[in-house]
């Protein structure tokens, strides 16, 4: 597995990481614990060194599974987790909370669940409008000085928030959605990150599964599958967006790779400091995703893909209105 550095930091990780959320949260019932641990440890065997989790995934369950899976190889991997929420009386409602005292409380819990004495990369999961980002960055700066955290990250933050945070404590990475079917970061976020020397960790790099070609227009999703609430996964949007998958499949077929591999290779080709974190619950999909690191797209192929992307108009919002309100602050 090739490696990359996240921006100007010295944090070197595998070119493709593993997003662990779907093992416990968001896409239906949690994966059997031992099955999840086996998948994570197989990823380590395949050369993956960046593993992404968060306290909110479960809540708390995913961190615990990731911690158990990686404990035997803790010194070989980079663990990223996130703070930023408290939970309602039902234990599931997500309430933004990045007060300094809560950040400290959250970090102590994450350290215990992850079975470690230091978090390699700590993200603010979503910007909290009630707490100045300078206070958030200052708290993480103190945690770094105390040896409990190594690197500071933000998730789905806007350009000005990134700049303000970076002025207090250098931001190592931004994690936000970016893929062939969500290219909004190209307008303002990518130039900002390049200017400041910040790495980019795209989540949902396969469009929550859509870019694999496995989700057809008549697909349905259970109530415990997050995609059931996403406008982009309505039958009408799936039908309209199938054009992109069809064109992606044609390019992949010519190269002898899968659509997922071409979609990930396209991301890797955008900037040398981009490290996507596709998630999966299946070993064969893990191998498929990691195989993208070996896919080389020529300049001609990248220009052809760029032309296709300019022609295709993706239908449907990527978030429900409630979730969209938390993005880009």
**Positions marked catalytic:** 57
The distance between the two most distant Cα atoms of the chain, rounded to a whole number of Å, is 55
Return the DSSP state at 274.
Answer: B
Three-state helix/strand/coil letters over 147-158 = CCEEEEEEECCC
Return the DSSP state at 23.
Answer: G
Return the DSSP state at 31.
Answer: P
- Go through the chain and tell me how many residues it has: 329
- Tally helices (H) and strands (E) across the chain: 11, 11
How far is the C-alpha of 21 from the C-alpha of 281, rounded, in Å? 10
Assess contact for 106 and 125: CB atoms under 8 A.
no
How far is the C-alpha of 156 from the C-alpha of 247, rounded, in Å? 29
Assess contact for 84 and 112: CB atoms under 8 A.
no
**Pairing label, strands 3-5, 12-14:** antiparallel
Q: Dig out the tokens for 101 from the structure.
A: 């005292």
User: Is the previous residue joined to 59 through a cis bond, with omega within 30 degrees of 0?
Assistant: yes
- The neighbour count for residue 43, using CB atoms within 10 Å, is 28
How far is the C-alpha of 133 from the C-alpha of 164, rounded, in Å? 7
Q: Dig out the tokens for 220 from the structure.
A: 């349905």
């Amino acid at each position: 597995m090739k490696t990359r550095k996240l921006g100007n930091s010295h944090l070197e990780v595998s070119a493709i990481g593993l997003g662990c959320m779907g093992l416990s949260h968001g896409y239906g019932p949690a994966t059997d614990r031992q099955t999840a641990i086996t998948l994570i440890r197989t990823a380590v065997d395949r050369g993956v060194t960046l593993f992404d989790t968060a306290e909110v995934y479960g809540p708390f369950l995913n961190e615990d599974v990731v911690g158990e899976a990686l404990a035997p190889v803790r010194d070989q991997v980079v663990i990223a987790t996130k703070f930023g929420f408290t939970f309602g009386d039902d234990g599931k409602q997500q309430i933004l909370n990045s007060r300094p005292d809560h950040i400290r409380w959250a970090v102590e819990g994450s350290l215990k669940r992850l079975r470690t004495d230091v978090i390699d990369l700590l993200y603010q999961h979503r910007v909290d409008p009630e707490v100045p980002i300078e206070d958030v960055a200052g708290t993480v700066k103190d945690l770094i000085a105390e040896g409990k955290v190594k690197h500071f990250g933000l998730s789905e933050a806007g350009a000005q928030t990134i700049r303000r945070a970076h002025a207090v404590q250098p931001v190592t990475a931004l994690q936000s959605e970016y893929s062939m079917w969500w290219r909004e970061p190209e307008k303002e976020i990518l130039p900002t990150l390049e200017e400041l020397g910040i790495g980019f960790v795209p989540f949902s790099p396969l469009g929550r599964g859509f870019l694999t070609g496995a989700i057809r227009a008549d697909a349905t999703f259970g109530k415990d599958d997050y995609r059931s609430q996403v406008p982009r996964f309505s039958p009408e949007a799936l039908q309209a967006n199938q054009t992109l998958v069809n064109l992606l499949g044609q390019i992949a077929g010519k190269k002898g790779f899968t659509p997922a591999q071409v979609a990930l290779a396209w991301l890797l080709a955008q900037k040398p400091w981009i490290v996507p974190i596709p998630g999966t619950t299946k070993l064969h999909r893990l191998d498929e995703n990691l195989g993208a690191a070996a896919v080389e797209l020529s300049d001609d192929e990248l220009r052809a893909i760029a032309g296709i992307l300019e022609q295709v108009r993706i239908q449907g919002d990527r978030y429900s209105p409630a979730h969209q309100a938390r993005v880009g602050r």
